[in-house]
Chain A
Amino acid sequence: MASVTGADRPRKKIQRKRLPVAPYFLALLAVIGLLWAASVAGAGLKFPTPKLGLDLQGGLSMTLSAYLQDSDQEPDDETMEQARQIIESRVNSTGVSEPEVFVEGTENVVVNVAGSDSDEEALRDVGAPAELRFRIVTERITDTSGLEGLPEPEQDGSEEGAEEEATEGEGGQEPADETSEEPQEDTTDDAAAGGAQVDSTDPEDEQAPQGDVTIEDVWEKVGPEAAEMAQSLNSAPDAASAATLEPFGELTAEEVGVLPANVQFYVPNITCEQLDARPPGSVQDPEVAVAACSSPEEVADGETTGTYSEKFLLQPADVVGSDVAEADVGVDQANLNRFVVNVQFTADGADRWGTLTQENVGQDVAIVLDNEVVSAPTIREASRNSTQISGDFSSEEANQLAEQLNFGSLPINFVVETINEVTATLGVVQLEAGLLAMAIGLLLVFLYCLAYYRVMGFIVLGSLLTATVVLYPTVSLLGSQIGLTLTLAGVAGFVVAIGITADSFVVYFERIKEEMRGGRSARSAVPRAWVRTRRTLLSANAISIIAALVLYMLAIGPVRAFAFALGLSTLVNVMVVFLFTHPIAEWLARGKLLNNVHLSGLHTRTLAVPGKAASRG
């Protein structure tokens, strides 16, 4: 605004003067006009508004971080992009509008969803690897550690939920008792064999994925006695042994994850809670035997409350998620209120599934999704092309699983690092807070400059307003074109930049003061001061820009927006100083104003020697 009047009025005068000032104003006007035109066009011929971040308009933002299997090896860009696309399709399938999914840094994927209608639980799962494994069950026991007030660990009759049919749609009514009784004899051998295999491959296969925790550390932590006993287990231990194995209950999920599968399974002190919390990918390797749990079931009858789950010892997987050609949601034939996921195998997968079912008729096959056993039906007869996964699904859950199977599994595992859910109300409060801080900051700086530099304070104000007039359409334009959002941290960056921008004027004005102290008039002091100021400003602002660039490129989290705001402001600041502040100071210096001792704020001579000003004025 200020520039308009500044440009129009002085033109006549300027043409007579040596230094052309008009071109600067014209250039500035051209830049401002262009930016506004572009941003209005970008906003669809409406008044442009910046794209507000989720913390200012309400919404959910989630950061997923790649869980590195090996601490030295970072996922490459291609893998991250692949993961991003899969996550984006999963987010879209939850039915939210206009989600934003982007890669941040080298190992983070950020999911932004505006509005408050998003389903947090569903969104949280978009980072799940969705690795499907079909594994033959070696042995299964009930884990009752989640129950309170239960004297006897065995509880019959309440297990139907976990028990499903594989090839037929009939509800499997036979609980663990029967199925586990028959194979019990040979599973002892199986377990021993499986255990031996795990033991031998353990140092390479089980320990590597965990990065920090090694199996030796864990053995050390539980003590040699417990370690030895646990390793020799091949059936559930008696009560006395269980006491020795107590230290295992204290292990963290990561530590449990590095233990051999038979230890994880047979040590009763290792609960399903610990197993479920293992890092993602803990049971992913199809080549080895693993231990896993079914999802916890709520129990509430009389004195027993809490959850119980089933613990499984599972054989290596022959059929995996990539063998699935197509998945869709169906209804359980036996119980129309329950949903199932129908799975079609690829040609290759069908062969393997056929072999698997043929060889293991009468045994249970566990369908393992990530770290959890979704269901473990008994194989009644051999089948080939398709199967049905039936857990205790709601229609949403069944849909989600089907989508996950269709989109494929993620190339790398992710863990949820942060979730920020901001209500629209809080968003408004935060936006107001940011704008208020900006207004107060501007006002304070203006008042200070007015007091200190008198009339030059208005140049500061004019320059700051010009910067605002340039920044606003720029931010709007970047919002509509490249999706830059204005977040709270970004607002903070702009507020902080007020100070840095105003400082440019301080450098300039102090320099003019210095020249005038040497006895020059404003007319000759201003251009002289500019020559030096220019150099100083460029050096000093180069530092700010380097800082902003480094932060923007290397930092993660909300502070990147801060860095962006700071960098953008610095660039605009340089432009404003060159195209507005300097020319207007030059122009003012030609008049009498700046030579006025009382008004200019540049005079440093005491009133005793006002001769200069008086003689010129």
Chain B
Amino acid sequence: MSTEQKNAQKPRSVWSKLYRGENDFQFIPKRRRWYLFSAVLIAACIAVMLVKGFVMGIDFAGGNQYNVPDTGQATLTEVEAAAAGAGVEIASGQMAGSGEDQSFIIRTAVTDLDTSQEARQAMADEVGVGSDQISVSEVSATWGAAVSQQALIALVVFLILITAFIWLRFERRMAVAALGALGHDLLLTAGIFSLIGFEVTPSTMVGMLTILAYSLYDTVVVFDKVQENTSNLLQSRRQTFAEGVNDAVNMTLMRSLNTSLIGALPVGALLFIGVGMLGVGTLKDLALVLFVGIITGTYSSVFLAAPWVVDMAERSPVYKKHNQKVANKRAGKGDDDETARPKTADRSDEVELEVLDPEPATAGAASRSGGGGGGGPRPGARPSGSGSRQRRKKRR
């Protein structure tokens, strides 16, 4: 959302450019800047986490939570005192809700059954209601760990499935980049939680998993466009891979921002209601982590995931060669004035490349022809993406 606001506040031209899809931000060419920015951010997050740690919720330490209706007879302090008088150790007390629904939320350390019942009765007497009007939630000290452990297992399974899915649906590089972006989102979200001191509960842990799905959803939409834009890239010399990806990111940028905002709107409503009416609980925990995660997820798919794909792709000989070809073509176009110098330099480079990497070049060619002719049994790993894409296109 913050990105959105920033954009809105900037000169109107940027906003209207965005709206009209005429934006042409240099995400990819300036990617190192964003890498540096993200690296600093992540380093700061790790530092904060190490220094400040997390505020762990009741579920991790174990304890009781009482929801005492506010009848106007007693103040928060009096209710706390009543509970403490019954022999429980008060961890925190707060007010929640408004009007008739206002209530005190008292949290205590772990107690045995009798003490818990005594405290409940004492608080009920204090505010003048029956003890069955007080909601109680008791959590053992091991429950939080059990929930987190399951969440961790779910995380691992999820990552494996997702990597496989993106690998199959797109390509290896994208799977790796998506995973990297996920790691970034996790760290950043955790860092923000640590920094602000938001409470970590089992719901937060599971909310994290949902964020991952959300972040991936976003990344997949960007990748889908990247794939579309670059499917015929190698056949022409019009654009380098990096430029193709940059175009794709720009084209989906408005969608990414919209997604982020539209995703954040209901979550914001949830957060507002969760905190305002209920004070604490699942609703707030989930909404908070989602809210933070949706924003980081959008950032990472635009500024990190797509550029990473470019970085990885540019290391492969096929794309290196293609970049060279594009450069040559451009040089050839604009070389009216200075023919001699660059031309010779380019040519020597080209020759060298071809000598050095004859195999990938042929592999690429083979797969390209294979793609056209119905496909060989197992085209080379890297160009297979373009081959299968072609085939898919044909079918349509």
CB distance from A72 to the nearest CB of B (A): 15
On whether A547 and B158 interact (CB within 8 A), knowing A421-B136, A506-B262, the answer reads yes
Q: Which of A438, A495, A563 gathers the greatest number of chain B CB atoms within 10 Å?
A: A495
Within 8 A of B (CB), among A83-111: 105
Q: Is A599 an interface residue (CB 8 A)?
A: no
Q: Is A539 an interface residue (CB 8 A)?
A: yes
Residue from A416, A449, A554 within 8 A of B150 (CB atoms):
A554
CB distance from A544 to the nearest CB of B (A): 6
Of A166-174, A187-195, A507-515, the segment with at least 4 beta carbons within 8 Å of chain B is: A507-515
Chain B residues closer than 8 Å to A495, beta-carbon distance: 266-267, 269-270
Q: Which residue of B lies closest to A506 (CB)?
A: B258
Contact B217 A550 (CB under 8 A): no
Q: Which of A124, A415, A444, A492 gathers the greatest number of chain B CB atoms within 10 Å?
A: A492
Chain A residues closer than 8 Å to B294, beta-carbon distance: 499
Of A42-50, A233-241, A426-434, A477-485, the segment with at least 4 beta carbons within 8 Å of chain B is: A426-434
Contact B264 A499 (CB under 8 A): yes
CB distance from A538 to the nearest CB of B (A): 9
Task: Give the complex CA separation of A259 and B325 in angstroms.
Answer: 78
Chain A residues closer than 8 Å to B266, beta-carbon distance: 437-438, 440-442, 444-445, 495-496, 498-499
Task: Give the complex CA separation of A442 and B266 in angstroms.
Answer: 7
Q: Is B198 an interface residue (CB 8 A)?
A: no
Contact B262 A492 (CB under 8 A): no
Chain B residues closer than 8 Å to A542, beta-carbon distance: 165, 169
CB distance from A467 to the nearest CB of B (A): 13
Contact B132 A116 (CB under 8 A): yes
Residue from A430, A500, A513 within 8 A of B217 (CB atoms):
A500
CB distance from B100 to the nearest CB of A (A): 9
Contact A503 B274 (CB under 8 A): no
**Residues of chain A at interface, number, CB under 8 A:** 77
Chain B residues closer than 8 Å to A438, beta-carbon distance: 266, 269
- Against A, the Cβ 8 Å flags (1 = close, 0 = not) of B140-168 are 10110011001101100110011001000
Dominant SS at the A interface? Answer: helix
Residue from A417, A437, A452 within 8 A of B258 (CB atoms):
A452
On whether A433 and B273 interact (CB within 8 A), knowing A425-B133, A539-B169, A546-B161, the answer reads yes
Task: Give the complex CA separation of A556 and B140 in angstroms.
Answer: 15
CB distance from A61 to the nearest CB of B (A): 9
Chain A residues closer than 8 Å to B264, beta-carbon distance: 499
Q: Which residue of A lies closest to B258 (CB)?
A: A506
Residue from B212, B258, B281, B290 within 8 A of A488 (CB atoms):
B281
Residue from B137, B153, B207, B228 within 8 A of A419 (CB atoms):
B137
Of B27-35, B247-255, B302-310, B335-343, the segment with at least 4 beta carbons within 8 Å of chain A is: B247-255
Contact A503 B210 (CB under 8 A): no
Chain B residues closer than 8 Å to A540, beta-carbon distance: 217, 220-221, 224
Contact B217 A488 (CB under 8 A): no
Chain A residues closer than 8 Å to B59, beta-carbon distance: 418
Q: Is A30 an interface residue (CB 8 A)?
A: no
On whether A535 and B224 interact (CB within 8 A), knowing A441-B265, A489-B286, the answer reads yes
Within 8 A of B (CB), among A396-418: 415-418
Contact B143 A417 (CB under 8 A): yes
Within 8 A of A (CB), among B17-51: 19-22
Within 8 A of A (CB), among B105-146: 113, 117, 132-140, 142-143, 146
Chain A residues closer than 8 Å to B287, beta-carbon distance: 492
Q: Which of A120, A547, A548 gathers the greatest number of chain B CB atoms within 10 Å?
A: A547
Q: Is B300 an interface residue (CB 8 A)?
A: no
CB distance from B316 to the nearest CB of A (A): 23
Contact A550 B134 (CB under 8 A): no
Within 8 A of B (CB), among A296-327: none
Q: Is A266 an interface residue (CB 8 A)?
A: no
Contact B396 A444 (CB under 8 A): no
- Against A, the Cβ 8 Å flags (1 = close, 0 = not) of B237-276 are 0000000000000011011001101111111111011100
Q: Is B278 an interface residue (CB 8 A)?
A: yes
On whether A550 and B154 interact (CB within 8 A), knowing A442-B266, A445-B262, A499-B263, the answer reads yes
20 A-B pairs besides A437-B270, A503-B262 with CB distance below 8 A are A65-B146, A415-B140, A425-B133, A429-B278, A434-B283, A440-B273, A444-B268, A448-B262, A488-B282, A492-B270, A496-B263, A496-B286, A499-B259, A506-B262, A517-B20, A539-B169, A540-B224, A544-B213, A551-B154, A563-B210
Ranked 7 nearest A-B pairs via Cβ: A441-B266, A547-B213, A499-B263, A440-B269, A554-B154, A559-B206, A604-B20
**Can you name 19 A-B pairs with beta carbons within 8 Å?**
A65-B146, A121-B113, A121-B117, A417-B139, A420-B138, A429-B277, A437-B274, A440-B266, A440-B273, A441-B270, A444-B265, A492-B270, A492-B287, A496-B286, A513-B21, A546-B213, A547-B209, A554-B153, A562-B206
